Amino acid sequence: MTDTAAIVGGGVIGGGWAARFLLNGWDVRVFDPDAEAARKIGEVLDNARRALPGLSEHALPAEGRLSFHATMSEAVDGARWVQESVPERLELKRKVFQTLQAHCPHDAVIASSTSGFRPSELQACATRPGQILVAHPFNPVYLLPLVELVTTDANPNGMGTRAADILRGLAMYPLHLTREIDAHIADRLLEAVWREALWLIRDGIATTGEIDEAIRMGFGLRWAQMGLFETYRVAGGEAGMRHFMAQFGPCLSEPWTRLMDVPEFTDALVDQIADQSDAQSGAHTIRELERIRDANLVGLMRALKGQNWGAGAFLVAADAARAPAPHFAAEAVAQRPIDQPLETIARAIPLDWSDYNGHMTESRYLQVFGDATDRFMTIVGCDADYIAAGTSFFTAESHIRHLAEAHPGDSIRVTTRFLGGEGAKMHLFHEMRRGDTLLATGEHFLLHVSLDTRRPVAPEGEVAARLAAVARAHAALPRPDGAGRHVGQRT
């Protein structure tokens, strides 16, 4: 049965949560008194559909159903997870919990997105305090993995773990804090930087643009991949963290920072910041900036996946949990018969695969077909262990046909046919589709090679047996349209 999440408050953060749940296969029921809520969430969803699915190397589950409800009681009915994201006012949040606890299942997780309140403050006036915890996400909720999950002694044993498991199922990274504090961890750090930045502007030392350059040209990049302490450890050179503290520790007693004070938000300071921000970024609408931000984040996180590091390592592990069972695995044979073209790729096109024409760039077609070939090799048993033992396949020739445009965010499937092969030869034909639309085909000729001699050698054992089984099964299929074409031939 499909899981159901209720989203109470569908603004910037609630909309992001709605997208995160929906695109991970949950049904989502929204309550928000704002007459514009459906439009706003629709726009967040459009951005999320472009950005999130392509972050994974595997297809996400089928999208859940989205519904809007006139009352909170209707929205939370039957929900397994209720996410409260109403404005940051304690009395409002407490009132909302009173209403929703009267109607939601008693075993539902009720999570608050609050940036500042401790869970005990939210639990204080509740009918069932133990049902409420904090799950503080980061904007854009549909892309960034981190959720600060804060529980108290009022939560029953195991509730934090259960909530963390559910969040991991959404490919989110729960950072579970069992000691509560105002504003949790991340916002305290951010506030320190924010305070310092306000002083730099107020004292006329830097503009909003200069402060942003100081972050994004330098330490912001370091933070994104190593955080604070690992970065400083490296900065300490061979002597590491101790040396770093010996060198820079004494500076902390210098009057470098104005963190203890808060500049007064006079009209003049607010105008100064708003005007500088308009001059810096006003050429783009907020929606455009969101799309630029999303593309940058996807690019960064995909680069970190390549390094298997930080947020990238987390996403690699999340992908592994989504990988389909191999065709020859006992549990997969019934669902994945080999007498049909084999599904070798099911994924969405990432934002960073787009080109100046607004569609998937040429080189990525070869990547997708290359990945499909890799998958086919794994299916027949030519996996990492097999290759490490000394034999593999090398590609000798490729022919790609581009038949229809593919765009970032599109869900694509590749099916693979074994067209022939004797001895060391293997002739594959890949078909890439979006739904029923054939987007491209890739025809490839490979040779099975000894990694010692770099010369062709026929496969043996399990690989030879599986290839023979696929060859027999695919021999009965009609020859695919376009197979054997050469460049420039008329259709």
Site string for ligand NAD, 139-158 (x = CB under 6 A): x-------------------
- C-alpha neighbours within 13 Å on the C-beta side of residue 58: 17
Residue 86 interacts with ligand NAD (CB under 6 A): yes or no: yes
Q: Choose one: 85-93, 149-157, 423-431, 440-448; the region binding ligand NAD (CB under 6 A).
A: 85-93
Is 382 an interacting residue with respect to ligand NAD (CB under 6 A)? no
At closest approach, how far in Å is the CB of 33 from ligand NAD?
6
- Residue 85 touches ligand NAD, criterion: CB under 6 A: yes
CB of 295 to ligand NAD, least distance (A): 19
Segment interacting with ligand NAD, rule: CB under 6 A, options 61-69, 107-115, 124-132, 293-301: 107-115
User: Which residue has its beta carbon closest to ligand NAD?
Assistant: 11
Residue from the set 65, 67, 88, 239 that interacts with ligand NAD by CB under 6 A: 88
Cβ of residue 223: shortest distance to ligand NAD, in angstroms?
Answer: 18
Size of the site for ligand NAD (CB under 6 A): 23
Among 137, 145, 381, 442, the residue binding ligand NAD under the rule CB under 6 A is 137
Is residue 34 part of the contact set for ligand NAD (CB under 6 A)? yes
> Does the protein bind ligand NAD through residue 70 (CB under 6 A)?
no
- From 22-30, 33-41, 230-238, 481-489, span contacting ligand NAD (CB under 6 A): 33-41
10 binds ligand NAD (CB under 6 A): yes
Shortest reach from residue 46's CB to ligand NAD, in Å: 17
**136 or 444: whose CB is closer to ligand NAD?**
136
Q: Shortest gap between Cβ of 100 and ligand NAD (angstroms)?
A: 9
Quote the least distance from Cβ 302 to ligand NAD, whole Å.
23
Query: Which range touches ligand NAD (CB under 6 A), out of 5-13, 387-395, 451-459, 482-490?
Result: 5-13
Residues at the interface with ligand NAD (CB under 6 A): 8-14, 31-34, 37, 85-88, 96, 113-115, 136-137, 139
